Amino acid sequence: MGRNYNRKEDYSPKFTRADDGCSIAPTCLKCPLPRCRYDLPLKMQQSAVTQERDSMIRKARAAGASAPQIAEAAGISDRTVYRVLKEVVA
């Protein structure tokens, strides 16, 4: 016969997870994404992070930061910054 799902232990959490966020937001509750990036397939997870990074690069450039300054602040190469900025113009 099937399992009885009305028992109290069926509803108690067996695993707990700290809400320490990810590279996009400090906590899950403050995340701007409509769906958790970890619920997405790997390729889409990478895409969400890349889009957020590219947006940050464009905002920093609009604020007057140079490409080397942006690269150092973001922990990426100058070449990546130039590529992102070139895509905006193209």
Q: Which of 16, 86, 3, 55 is nearest to 47 (CA)?
A: 55
Annotated domain spans of the chain? 8-89
**Residue 12 pLDDT exceeds 70:** no
Question: Six-digit token pair at 56?
Answer: 């940050």
pTM beyond 0.85, yes or no: no
Question: Six-digit token pair at 72?
Answer: 């150092």
67 pLDDT band, cuts 50/70/90, is: very high
Q: Which residue has the higher pLDDT, 70 or 4?
A: 70
